[in-house]
Amino acid sequence: MTTTATPPTREPGSAGPAGGGRAGIAARTLRTDRWWFQPLITVLGLTAWLVYAVVRAATQKYYWVGAYHYLTPFASPCLSKSCIPEAAHFGRPLPEFPPLIPFAIVTLSFLLAFRLTCYYYRKAYYRSFWQSPPACAVREPHRKYSGETRFPLIIQNFHRYFFYVAVLISLINTYDAVLAFHGKGGGFGFGLGNIILVGNVVCLWMYTLSCHSCRNITAGRLNHFSRHPVRYRMWMWVSKLNERHMMWAWITLGTLTLTDAYIGLVSSNTLTDLRFIH
């Protein structure tokens, strides 16, 4: 009769190959650096932005500067009859919204879905909010992991479809920025608000086009780059942008906040827009 020997277990703190098995370390990690700092900063940063965005989008006030046609991206497109008619660049097909409902609730829902399913943001909130895992060589508190195969995480697989909507919304934001070159008496005008709006749009395009889905769409499924030189060049360009996708993800949170805050302050007459061409 053949017997199978039970592998020896390693005692806590034991080291070396003679111990065998897994180390019985009770500590969550043996790291001595501040591994918790980055997840903490991520939690604070994303929470602060989310609170600001929800409050501002739900106030239904100070979203439009009629003199210069400044429209905050948090209210664009303004499709409700609750909107000021001049701010509704695409008409007002929706009924009046009750209080606390954002004017751009339709598009904001898709933008939120695009960000939540973004590959970088997944990494960010998986590590920070869910601690799965919070850092390398740090034990996570979850015992089971089913991957992105069950609800709600299976929705992550729809990221490429949210990307198409994000492109459309970026086009709308671009239209808003162009329309904002409006003087007080009509015609062409140019002020600090235009710089902020255009800067925000440029950053949004950089974030959107650096998306992993965009990289895959351009030439990700090609087997022979030599047969598709144009798509290959596009793929190379998007790949370079993709290297900075995390950077653009955070920058756009800042530019969106700056744009909305500036338009809100000008709309409430707290600030006066600095005009270069009236």
**Region 84-108: what's the mean pLDDT?**
94
Report whether the peptide linkage leading into residue 229 is cis, meaning its omega lies within 30 degrees of zero: no
Confidence category of residue 173, pLDDT binned at 50, 70, 90: very high
Q: Exposure of 167 by Cβ count < 10 A (0-12 exposed, 13-18 middle, 19+ buried)? A: middle
Residues paired with residue 174 on neighbouring β-strands, in sequence order: none
What is the structure's pLDDT at 27? 74
Report whether the peptide linkage leading into residue 133 is cis, meaning its omega lies within 30 degrees of zero: yes
CA distance 115 to 268: 30
Q: Residue 9: pLDDT above 80?
A: no
- Percentages of the chain per state (helix, strand, coil), in multiples of 5: 50, 5, 45
Confidence category of residue 120, pLDDT binned at 50, 70, 90: very high
Return the minimum-mean-pLDDT range out of 11-15, 16-20, 92-96, 228-232: 11-15
Q: Exposure of 196 by Cβ count < 10 A (0-12 exposed, 13-18 middle, 19+ buried)? A: buried
The tens digit of pLDDT for each residue in 223-235 reads: 888 888 998 899 9
- Contact residues for 264 (Cβ-Cβ < 8 A; gap 6+): 56, 62, 63, 72
Q: Residue 119: pLDDT above 50?
A: yes
Confidence category of residue 239, pLDDT binned at 50, 70, 90: very high
**Residues in the chain, how many?**
278
Q: Residue 11: pLDDT above 50?
A: no
Q: Residue 193: pLDDT above 60?
A: yes
What is the structure's pLDDT at 150? 81
The tens digit of pLDDT for each residue in 43-80 reads: 999 999 999 999 999 999 999 999 999 999 999 999 99
Q: pTM to 2 decimals?
A: 0.85
Confidence category of residue 19, pLDDT binned at 50, 70, 90: low
CA distance 267 to 278: 17
CA distance 212 to 236: 12
CB 78 within 8 A of CB 89: yes
